[in-house]
Amino acid sequence: MSVNNNKSLCSKLASVVVIASTSVVLNIFTEVPSLSTPYSHSEAKTSANSIEQPINLKIVISRRQVILYRGKIQIKSYPIAVGRPGWETPIGHFQVLKMTKNPAWMHPFTGESIPGGSPKNPLGRYWIGFWTNGTNWIGFHGTPDAESVGKAASHGCIRMYNKDVQELFDQVSIGTPITVVP
């Protein structure tokens, strides 16, 4: 090796040492695949990104419970009220279709409408709709009747404690998968 090549190599090593004294070194080493690494940098990025799994929900009617999952890992569960006899909560696979703060409510028999934000509104402050026949909707909502949670008491909807539905509202988005089992 010539003297000029040695100076060039020393200069490059000195640059690496200077860079290594800052946080930039992490970016340098993550951008260059190592020969001793059994996978490429792009595979490593994919593996790191796959840690963040999508949210999905499972409603277990018999347990009066909705379970929040990130991928296959259970994050939290909430007590719920489900549809009463004659107004059963539908079973199957669904997704979040609509999300509304301060939703208005229309009585299914009388057509009476109660505006969002009203203390008389049985939906509370949050609505997460996941089923519709084009006219009627079924979804998650709060309730002014906290004692109904844990029972078959609704017109098919999933009633939750107001604080719980607010928390759930912040976790889901349009398209979040929902599975409802007996």
User: pLDDT per residue over 144-154, tens digit each?
Assistant: 999 999 999 99
Identified catalytic residue from 93, 107, 155, 157: 157
Task: Specify whether the CB–CB gap between 157 and 148 falls below 8 A.
Answer: no
> d(Cα 136, Cα 131) in Å, to the nearest integer?
8
User: pLDDT per residue over 100-152, tens digit each?
Assistant: 999 999 888 898 999 999 988 999 999 999 999 988 899 999 999 999 999 99
> d(Cα 90, Cα 180) in Å, to the nearest integer?
7
Amino acid at 66: V
pLDDT at site 22: 36
Active site residue 10: no
**Domain 55-181 of CATH type 2.40.440.10:** yes
Per-domain boundaries in the chain: 3-49, 55-181
Interaxial angle between packed helices 41-49 and 24-31, expressed in degrees from 0 to 180 and rounded to the nearest 10:
110
Task: Specify whether the CB–CB gap between 176 and 168 falls below 8 A.
Answer: no
Identified catalytic residue from 10, 41, 93, 141: 141
Task: Specify whether the CB–CB gap between 157 and 83 falls below 8 A.
Answer: yes
What are the respective helix, strand and coil percentages of the chain, to the nearest 5?
30, 30, 40
Average pLDDT over residues 2-24: 42
Phi, psi (degrees; rounded to nearest 5) at 87: -135, 40
